[in-house]
Amino acid sequence: MAETAKILSPEKTVLIPDLNAKCAMAEMIDAEGLKELQAKHPYAKTVCYVNSTASVKAECDACCTSSNAVRVVAGMDSDEIIFAPDKYLAAHVEKELKKQGISKKIIPWNGFCPTHLRIIPNYLRDLKIKYPSAKIITHPECTPDANRFSDAVLSTSAMVKFVKETSSDTIIVGTETGIIHKFKKEAPEKKYIPATDLAICPNMKVITPQKVFEALRDMKHRVEIPPEIAKKASRAIFEMMKFS
């Protein structure tokens, strides 16, 4: 995400407070591996998650977020789409496209979010038994088996909208538990139950106020991207923005 910020604002300074704050899913793919898959499907267009690395974006036709992934894939002028790196978001996109009567062959990269993988169907089932009137919300990065227990499979931004508008006073949350802080600010009168306390992203949690302060004080860990990669990656980002 820091690389994306730098690509969009190359004249500005972008800092990473901790170099270990990387996305485990993004680390599951590299540009060379993606190019090998593309060679097997020469007529396919490639869409990658926005939190992929700049070098991966540079090999893609468009990138996407969890909120616009369906729109971006639907808008690609190809019946074959390589979707990277999250195979579960790819499955969600394919399912949603079928609901709309759109037929596209989705070729997923075999990647996933380790945090969302910890949200298993049994947890959701047991919580629903314990709180029968609660609404279950899950993220598209969860497995299809987990999402089958969900009342709504939503992007992060859509989840915030849902908790503010739902009439339910109890919500079972199937995503990274840090979002509950935001929910409590937006709709403090409701009760939020994490699908599991294991759904914590350790990479996100390495960022602390102290490290943000030190990065700003010392202007350290600057993000720099080779111009040729930034130029190619920007095309995928701007293509995504057409569908936002």
Domains of the chain in sequence order: 2-14+23-113+224-241 (3.40.50.10800), 119-198 (3.40.50.10800)
Sorting pLDDT into bands at 50, 70 and 90, what band is 225? Answer: very high
CA distance 229 to 55: 6
- Type of residue numbered 55: S
155-163 mean pLDDT? 95
* Spatial CA neighbour of 112 closest among 126, 98, 91: 91
Write the pLDDT tens digit of every residue in 20-49: 999 999 999 999 999 999 999 999 999 999
CA distance 43 to 159: 35
E strands, 11-84, where? 45-49, 62-64, 80-84
* 3-class secondary-structure state, position 84: strand
**One-letter-per-residue 3-state SS of 130-168:** HCCCCEEEECCCCCHHHHCCCCEECCHHHHHHHHHHCCC
| Residue 244 confidence (pLDDT) | 72
Residue 78 bridge partners (DSSP): none
Write the pLDDT tens digit of every residue in 167-218: 999 999 999 999 999 999 999 999 999 999 999 999 999 999 999 999 999 9
Write the pLDDT tens digit of every residue in 113-135: 999 999 999 999 999 999 999 99
Write the pLDDT tens digit of every residue in 63-96: 999 999 999 999 999 999 999 999 999 999 999 9
Does the pLDDT value for residue 243 go beyond 90?
no
| Residue 34 confidence (pLDDT) | 98
Task: Tell me 102's DSSP state.
Answer: -
Does the pLDDT value for residue 4 go beyond 80?
yes
Residues 30, 33, 37, 39: is their CA dihedral positive or negative?
A: positive
* 3-class secondary-structure state, position 194: strand
Q: Is the peptide bond before 108 cis (omega within 30 degrees of 0)?
A: no
Quick one: tokens of 184?
A: 């409590």
Calculate the average pLDDT of the chain: 96
| Residue 191 confidence (pLDDT) | 98
Sorting pLDDT into bands at 50, 70 and 90, what band is 156? Answer: very high
Percentage of residues of the chain with pLDDT beyond 70: 100
